[in-house]
Every structure is written in C-alpha cells, then in structure tokens.
Structure 1
Amino acid sequence: MVAPEPGKKIEIQSYKHNGNLHRIWESSLVLKGTESIVIGANDRTTVTESDGRKWITREPAICYFHSKYWFNIIGMIRQDGIHYYCNIGSPFVYDEEALKYIDYDLDVKVFPDMTYTLLDEDEYEEHKQLMNYPHVLDRILKQNLSHLLRWIHQREGPFAPDFIDNWYERYLTYR
C-alpha cells in the first residue's frame, strides 16, 4: 500500500458497508504517513455529507488512522480541553485519490476528563440487519470497540497525555 507523505494535503472519505459514500473531509494535512499509521490535522475544513449538505469544522483536530485497528480517532482541540470522537470503522486504505475507510456507525465520544459515551448503538443494529453484516464482522467490530475502550482507560495511543498537543505543534510548523 502507498502511504501519503508528510506535508501533503489529502481528502478523507468514509463509506458505508454497502459501498455508498458517507462523508468527505475536504483537506487534511498529513503529519505522519506510513503503511500502518496516518496522522493528519485539519482546522476549519469543509465536510460534505452523502446528501450533499456541507459544513465546516469548528476547531483544530488531529486525526489518527491505523491499518490494523477497526477504529479511527479524532482529537478536537477546544477551549475546555481535548474532546475525542472515535469511529468504529474498517482499517484505512490510501490510494492517490484519498484516505478511505468504512464507517460502521458505532461511535465513542470522549470528554477531556476521559469519561466517554457510546453513541449510535441502535443505528448500528439497524444497519447490521439492513446491510447483512456477517457474524465475523460483528465480532471484529465488538473486539475493536473493547480495544478502543482499553486505550481510553489506559490513556494509550492518541489518548496519551500530550499526544494531541505534540502533533498539533507539528501541524503549526506547516502553517
């Protein structure tokens, strides 16, 4: 697999299990790009929904994607601290067009004090039936959700102290 180079601006595309485009983040700056990890940053980037609606992100964010894990993590830098939005989704793939992954509905919202809320469980159950997620996929997604929650509890990966701040400082050197 090709990896995006640091300093390059890329588009991020999320899809649904049935192959339909779900959401596009227009421009994220690659801070680290390897075959297994992509760390990007954006601030006030345009997001396009599948129905064509557009909105602009409100704050700087550091995005973490891994080719092994079935989740990605967005650390949003706000006045009251770092808020995280975690998507349960397929490992990323990158081609020259964009970084791409499949969004599997389940999300975890993590607050600055590291408490969290699991979101969209009913949407996941609905899409699991509608799109016929195989049992093995359901098991993989639930195992990765458990792995993500362990990272939150143990403050590993992007939840480690200073992870987001350090990558944000690197992002500022490109501006």
Structure 2
Amino acid sequence: MDGLEPGSTIQIQSYKHNGQLHRVWDTSMVLKGTSNMVIGANDKTLVTESDGRTWTTREPAICYFHSKHWFNIIGMLRNDGIYYYCNISSPFVFEEAAVKYIDYDLDIKVFPDMTFTLLDEDEYELHSRQMNYPKVLDSILKNNIEYLIRWIRQRKGPFSPEFVDQWYERYLTYR
C-alpha cells in the first residue's frame, strides 16, 4: 500500500471522539503495511500532547493496528520483559503519511507474566457523557475489550511469545 512500504516512516496520530487531536508520535517505522494492518516500530520517538507538551518514549516498541479491530496494541521491550499497552480505539485509517485513530480512553496494561489491568474507566465515563458517545459505540467498545482479553489469555496475535521479538529483529535490520 502506498506510503506503508517496509522501512518507510510514518506518524501515529490519536484523536478524541470530538475530532480534537490528542497525541502524535512523530516517527515510527513501517515493518508491515497493508490496507488491513500496520505493524510499526519506534524507539526514543518524540511524542506531542494536545496541549503542546512533549516527551520521548523510553524503550523500543512494536505497534499493531488493524482496520477491523477497535483497539491497537503497543509492545514495549523493557529489561524485565515485554509490557503491552492496549488502547481501546477506533480501527485505524491511513492518510497523509499517518496512521490515525480515535482513542476511547479505556486501556489495558499487560505485564510480562500476562496479567493485565483495565485502566481509565472514570475517564471513559466522563468523556462518554461530555462527547455523547452513542450507545452502540459503548457496546462495540465493550465487546472489543472482551475480544482483546481473549487474545491476551490465549497469547494470540501480538501477545504470542515470538511476535514482538520477531518484529523487533526486523526493525533492527532497517536501523
């Protein structure tokens, strides 16, 4: 797919339901890109928040986006293992050299031993009221949380033992 060739760089842009830009990861390298899926990697990349604050990621990360799933998954390689941060979000779109998605506040943090915690339920409830999330959206998101938890428990997709390591090795060949 044009702009998603392996080795090329893209931005990752997170939006809120009201269309406001939420967060931007300045550069990520495409490892695999199709119309349905993007696997990318970054390390020490600049992140800009909606209020203009910036920070830099601390460790290498493998990012997984899918056009049919209402979540994305970031596997972070740390000294004591792989940690995952899963954003409950809209499926991604790719336009203007950027992977774009709507962040729906809820997150799942997964630890190296595959235990996990659902985060930001209060933030989700607040934004749901403020931005009038439709009831059907609430249902879609909750169903996708259950689907994602099954993936975690089954070590499926990005949670399989070799997924992050294999894609990180590929990333190193491009650096």
Q: Answer whether TM exceeds 0.5 for this pair.
A: yes
For the 8 Å contact 1:45–1:57, the answer to whether it is kept is yes
Q: How many Å apart are 1:2 and its aligned residue?
A: 5.5
**1:83-162 map, 5 Å:** 83-162=83-162
**1:1-175 map, 5 Å:** 4-175=4-175
Take 2:40 and 2:74, find their aligned partners in 1: how far apart are those partners? 9
Flag structure 1 segments of 5+ consecutive residues without an equivalent: none
Q: Deviations over 1:34-87 (max 9, x none)?
A: 000100000000000000000000000000000000000000000000000000
For the 8 Å contact 1:2–1:95, the answer to whether it is kept is no
Take 1:116 and 1:155, find their aligned partners in 2: how far apart are those partners? 12
Q: How many Å apart are 1:6 and its aligned residue?
A: 1.1
Take 1:3 and 1:14, find their aligned partners in 2: how far apart are those partners? 18
Identity %: 74
What TM-score results when the alignment is normalised by the length of structure 2?
0.98
For the 8 Å contact 2:3–2:97, the answer to whether it is kept is no
Deviates more, 1:128-137 or 1:2-11: 2-11
Q: How many Å apart are 1:97 and its aligned residue?
A: 3.4
For the 8 Å contact 1:2–1:94, the answer to whether it is kept is no
Measured on the aligned residues, the alpha-carbon RMSD in Å equals 1.0
Flag structure 2 segments of 5+ consecutive residues without an equivalent: none
Take 1:18 and 1:81, find their aligned partners in 2: how far apart are those partners? 36
Number of corresponding residues: 175
What TM-score results when the alignment is normalised by the length of structure 1?
0.98
Take 1:75 and 1:163, find their aligned partners in 2: how far apart are those partners? 9
